[in-house]
Chains A and B, each alone.
Chain A
Amino acid sequence: MIPLSHYLLLSAVIFSVGVVGVMTRRNAIVVFMCIELMLNSVNLTLVAFSSYLGDATGQMLVFFVMVVAAAEAAVGLAIVISLFRNKQTVNIDDINILKW
Chain B
Amino acid sequence: MYSLVPLITLFPLLGFLANGFFGRKIKNEKIVGSLSTIAVTLSFIVAAAIFIEMLGFPVEERKHVVSLFTWISAGTLATNVAYQVDQLSILMTLIVTGVGSLIHLYSIGYMHGDRGYWRFFTYMNLFIFMMLNLVLADNYLLMFLGWEGVGLCSYLLIGFWYERNFEKSTTSEAAKKAFIVNRIGDFGFLIGLFLMFVTFGSLNYDSVFLQAAGLEKGNSVIMWMTLFMFLGSTGKSAQIPLYVWLPDAMAGPTPVSALIHAATMVTAGIYMVARSSILYALAPTTMEVIAVIGLLTAFFAGTIGIVQNDIKKVLAYSTVSQLGYMFLGCGVGAFAGGLFHVMTHAFFKALLFLGSGAVIHAMHEEQDIQKMGGLQKYMPWTYKTFLVGALAISGFPFLSGFFSKDEILWKSFANGSAAYWVIGIIAAGITAFYMFRLVSLTFLGSERFDPHHVHPHEAPKTMLIPLIVLGVLSLIGGFVGIPHVLGGSNAFEEFLEPVFTAANDKMLLPFHDAPGVEISLMLVSVVVGLFGMYAGWKIYTEKRQIADTAARKFPLLYNLLLNKYKIDELYDAVIVTPIKQTSDKFLWKIFDVKIIDDALNVSAKTIDKTAGVFRKIQNGVVQNYAVVFVAGILFVIGWLIAR
Contacts and interface: CB of A to CB of B under 8 A. Distances in A.
Indicate if A touches B (C-beta under 8 A).
yes
A98 B622 contact: yes
A22 interface: yes
B623 A93 contact: yes
B626 A96 contact: no
Contact of B630 (A23, A93, A97): A23
Interface string A5-34: 000000000000001001100100001000
B618 interface: yes
B620 A22 contact: no
A81 to B, nearest CB: 17
Residue from B618, B623, B625, B626 whose CB has the most chain A CB atoms within 10 Å: B623
A23 B618 CA distance: 16
Contacts of B619: 96, 99
B620 A96 contact: yes
Categorize the interface residue count of chain A. Answer: 10 to 19
Contacts of A31: 623
A77 interface: no
Contacts of A96: 619-621
B623 A99 contact: no
A96 B621 CA distance: 5
A26 B622 CA distance: 10
A56 interface: no
A68 interface: no
B620 A23 contact: no
Contacts of A95: 621-622
Interface in B562-594: none
Contact of A92 (B618, B623, B627): B623
Interface string B607-638: 00000000000111111011100100000000
B622 A99 contact: no
Contacts of B623: 22-23, 26, 31, 92-93
Nearest to A93: B621
A99 B625 CA distance: 11
Interface in A30-87: 31
A97 B626 CA distance: 15
Contacts of A100: 620
Interface in B337-389: none
A12 B341 CA distance: 104
A23 B622 contact: no
A23 B624 CA distance: 8
Nearest to B627: A23
B620 A99 contact: yes
B618 A99 contact: yes
Contacts of B622: 92, 95, 98
A23 B622 CA distance: 9
B626 to A, nearest CB: 5
A19 B630 contact: yes
Contacts of B630: 19, 23
A31 B621 CA distance: 13
Nearest to A35: B626
Interface string B148-161: 00000000000000
A31 B622 CA distance: 11
Nearest to A19: B630
B390 to A, nearest CB: 81
Contact of B626 (A22, A26, A93): A22
Contacts of A22: 623, 626
A95 B618 CA distance: 13
Residue from B618, B619, B620, B622 whose CB has the most chain A CB atoms within 10 Å: B622
A96 B630 CA distance: 19
B638 to A, nearest CB: 15
Nearest to A25: B623
Contacts of B626: 22-23
A19 B618 CA distance: 21
B613 to A, nearest CB: 15
A98 B617 CA distance: 12
A26 B625 CA distance: 14
Interface in B175-189: none
Contacts of A26: 623
Nearest to B625: A98
B627 A98 contact: no
Interface in B190-236: none
A23 B633 CA distance: 14
A78 to B, nearest CB: 16
Nearest to B633: A19
A69 to B, nearest CB: 18
Contacts of A92: 621-623
Residue from B619, B621, B627 whose CB has the most chain A CB atoms within 10 Å: B621
A23 B626 CA distance: 6
Nearest to B623: A92
B518 to A, nearest CB: 92
16 contacts: A19-B630, A22-B626, A23-B627, A23-B630, A31-B623, A92-B623, A95-B621, A95-B622, A96-B619, A96-B620, A97-B620, A98-B620, A98-B622, A99-B618, A99-B620, A100-B620
Q: Which 9 A-B pairs have the closest CB atoms?
A: A96-B620, A99-B620, A98-B620, A96-B621, A99-B618, A23-B627, A22-B626, A92-B623, A92-B622
Interface of B: 618-623, 625-627, 630
Interface of A: 19, 22-23, 26, 31, 92-93, 95-100
Given A23-B626, A100-B620, 17 more contacts: A19-B630, A22-B623, A23-B627, A23-B630, A26-B623, A31-B623, A92-B623, A93-B621, A95-B621, A96-B619, A96-B620, A96-B621, A97-B620, A98-B622, A98-B625, A99-B618, A99-B620
